[in-house]
Structures are given as C-alpha cells and as structure tokens.
Amino acid sequence: MIRQAVHQGIRRRFSLAGVKVAPSKTIDAAAASSSYMEQLEGEWNTAKPFEEIPGPTRWQLWRGFQKGGEFHHLDMAELMELYQTRFGDMCRVPGLFGMPTTVFTFKVENFERIYRTEGQWPVRGGADPVLHYRANRKDGFFKDCVGLFSNGPEWGRLRSAANPVLMQHRNVDLYLEPMQRVNTQFIDRIRAIRDKESQEMPGDFLDTINTLTFESVAVIALDRELGLLRAASIEQRPEAKELFRNIKIFLQSFFELGMKPSVYKYISTPTYRRFSQASDVIFDTCSMYVNEAVARIDGQSAAERLGRRSILEQLLQINRKFAVVMAMDMLMGAVDTTSSALTGILLSLAKNPQQQQKLREEIVSMLSQPDRQFTQSEMKSLPYLRACIKESMRMFPVTFGNLRSAGTDVVLDGYRIPQGTNLLMLSTNMMRDERFYPRPNEFLPERWIRPQGDDSTESLLRNNLNPFAYLPFGFGPRMCVGKRIVDLEMELTVANLVRNFHIEFNYPTEKAFNRSFLNMPIIPLRFKFTDVKYS
C-alpha cells in the first residue's frame, strides 16, 4: 500500500510540473522512490500504535461541548490551542454519532507527508451533511452525480470534467467582463449607502460584501446578473433574494452540523431541517436558472452559437445535471470564503496607509483612466496587488487548515496512521510564527516579492520556508477548483476599491473574526471610503 501510494505521488508530481523525464532520470527517480518506500515501511514497523496517540476521550469530548463544559465557549482557534497545549503537536479526537475519528496535526513536516502520499483520488472529509442530504433526497437526483463534495473515482471523473472549464487561463476572459460589471455595481452601492458626512459604511456592510461575492459567483455559475446590488431591482427578483438568503442558512447550519456532535444522521434535528430546507431552495432555484439558460441557448441563431461559450454553456455541454450540481457547489463554496478574504484585505490596507498608497500607485500607473475597465493583460501586471492579497490572507486566514484522509498507511510523529484516517492539518498557528515569517505581526506585502537572489539577513521570508506552510487554496489534484475565479474576483475588487477610494478603518481590529470552521468577521465593518481625486 505504501509502495503504490508513493509511486502514484511521484508520477503525479512530475505530471503536474509538466516535466518530461529522460530514461536515466526515470531510473534515478525509481531508485529514490524505492529508498523512500523502504524508509516508510521501516518507520511503520517500529512506530507506536494508532490507539496511543494522545487526545480527549469520547466522554470528555461530549461533556466538553455541552453547556458549562470546557469547550463550550471556545472558538475553533482557542480549542486548537488547548488541544496543542494539552496533547502536543498531534492529537486524536474520537468521533461521535457517526462522525469519524480525526487526527489533528500542527507540524508542517506532517502536512507534506500527508499530501505526498494522498494517492490518485485524494479524499477530503468534512462534507457529511451535504453527502447525507444528497444521498437521501427522495427524487434521487444526485444518485449518479453527487458533485465535487464526493470522493473516490466518482470525484475523479467529475473533477476531470470540471478542470478544463474552471481551471484554464483561457477561460478568464469569459468571466472578466461580467465580474467587472458586478464590481462597478458594488462601487456604486458603496457611494449610495455610505454616510454623507462621515463617509463611513453602515455596520452591516458585511451583507453588502456577501452580496458582491454571491453576485460574482452567480454571474459565472448561472450565466446571469441577479441584480441584488442594484437597490431598485431587489424586489423585482424575489427568487434571487431567496437564493441569497438560503445560501446563508445553508452555510451556517453546515458548519454547525459538521463541527459539533450531532445525531442528525439518525434523527432529523432542527439544524438539519434548516439545512435540508435551504438545500431544497438552492437546488430548485439553480435548476430554474439552468433551465432558463438552456432555453436561451436553444433560441440562439447558428451565428450566435459559433461565438465563445460561457462557463455555464460549457458545463451544459458535458451534462445538464452536472451543470446544476456545479452551480450549486460553486455558490455553496465561494461566497463566505471570499467575503472573509476580502474583509481581511480591506482591514489590512485600511490599517496600513503606506502600503495602500503604494498599491494605488501601481494600479494607477497601469490604468490611468479611472473609468476604464481592466484587461486581462493588465490584471497580470499587478504584482504588488497579488502580494497584498497574499499577505492579508496570511494575517487573516480564511480557515484554520486543510482536511484530508490518509491515502496510505503512513507514520506521523512516530505513530501509525492507518489508510483512510481523517487528518486535520492546522496551519493557522504558523501564519504568525517568527520561525517562518520575520516580523510576523506586521503587514508586509514586500515579503512575497523579494528580488530573486536576495539572500539578505533582513529577509522578510525565511529562506527555508516549507511551501506546505502556506496553502490557502489547498494542494495537488484536490486544490480549490474555483481558485481562478476567486483570485480574479479578489484582484478586481481590491484594485477597483483602491483606485476609487482612500480606505480607512478607525476602530480596533482585535478579535475581528469569529474563528470557526471558517473565519468570519464579527465586528461592525464601518470602513470609511473617501473618493480619490484625480486631476
């Protein structure tokens, strides 16, 4: 088992890198892999049993999450800190009520070993509520198309179909223009709702950010603007507003079902009923929009059909059911995550005016006319913008880590980890660790664009930084399928905000986020947006 997984990992790494290996190189690689396999097998024979990994008992876990228990009032980051302090860099958390036992690891060296041995079809847990809903839906719609929440060969088949549509650079132009239209509406919305005297946003500005991210994904997944950022049209599209409301209900109940002990698989709990009802609305609305798109496409002339096809049209060419499921999965997976990231970016820029001004200068030098839209080539020529986004996602991580199942029997920290074991790789604590990032509590985008060959002792990034310490979109075949879309959405939004406004936030930012499965802002986002004056 170990031998097979390692061979698969080596072949995949060469394939992902686009490397053509000469015969002699292949022999060298095979020899290296044999040596590595012998090392892994030797470690397994001498490793301690899985059952000896320290961690809480089932009773301690159940009692701890009840009212008055020691875990009850802890957020995710506090709970992880408690586990690490009490049990060390790895702990075993037993499953309750059908949930699997999960091993938590805090060491980057373990992350790399987990990813390198994950196999052909990496298995990611944590989606049990979605899988339970789709397996038990009475009409059986998801029987042969569970979506990208699935695992194994079915996931491999669906992901192979989705990658050419969603992960290719050539498709960026397809969603650049519609995303810019949504972005323009967002800028107009800010000017409409900010306070006329203070120029500050209302405390519920997060709702507007959520609407932006929802609209940006919907314009791609559903091939239409829903109009929720245009105040005058909100009441004209009640189904769009209802879809947006149920996406929020879905996400809230999903995190609760996925992270806390629950009997929903045996008894339909109130939280699961909310989750199921929201999923029904999302399914019905996405199906309606996809059917409208099919009718629209069927009504096109032959000349119109020769033009470039939208993302939805390309998905429909694969399979109509697949298009519906992918629309649902994109809406479910990209709204809160992108809102969290954008909030962190805005807070970082607002609290660091020098870096904000440097970014503005880069953007204006590339696009001197304030009202002109960005082209794809211009978006590629903004390195400081990408550095600002990357640094803010280090300062304000979107989630606490990545989840995988062991692709083979593997040894971590001297313990045997059987194939299929749920593994939670907790990276948040590394983001502000001096061992990885000098001056870790400072917002320094420059650390990501250091000139090549610079070996200065004042480096802002450790020369030996393990690449697995920072993986906001995951790694390998199972990395986020919407990465291209999310990257463009964040880059467009930040670039347009900075070239239109001076951004300030004149309030404390300590404990700005509720650190749960997903880190979401919990403070009023009273950003001050003052118009930039151009001569």
CA distance 395 to 431: 7
Sequence ranges of the domains in the chain: 2-105, 152-398+472-531
Please provide the distance, in angstroms rounded to a whole number, between the alpha carbons at the two ends of the chain. 67
DSSP letters, 62-128, are HHHHSTTSTTTT--HHHHHHHHHHHH-SEEEE---TTPPPEEEE--HHHHHHHHHT--SS------H
- pLDDT value, residue 459: 63
- pLDDT value, residue 17: 36
Which residues in the chain land under pLDDT 70?
A: 1-37, 40, 97-98, 231-237, 259, 302-308, 368, 370, 450-464, 535
Contact call for residues 420 and 123 (beta carbons, < 8 A): yes
Which among 421, 459, 424, 455 has a CA at the least distance from the CA of 439? 459
Q: How far is CA 285 from CA 56, 180, 425, in A?
A: 43, 24, 35
CATH value of 152-398+472-531 in 1.10.3720.10, 1.10.630.10, 3.40.640.10, 1.20.1300.10: 1.10.630.10
Q: What are phi and psi of 11, to 5 degrees?
A: -60, -40
- pLDDT value, residue 359: 96
Contact call for residues 223 and 175 (beta carbons, < 8 A): no
Task: Give the pLDDT confidence of 5-22 residue by residue, as tens digits.
Answer: 544 544 444 333 333 445
User: Given phi > 0 = left and psi -120 to 50 = alpha, else beta, which region is 361?
Assistant: alpha
Which among 336, 280, 386 has a CA at the least distance from the CA of 514? 336
Alpha-carbon torsion 390, 391, 397, 403, what sign?
Answer: positive
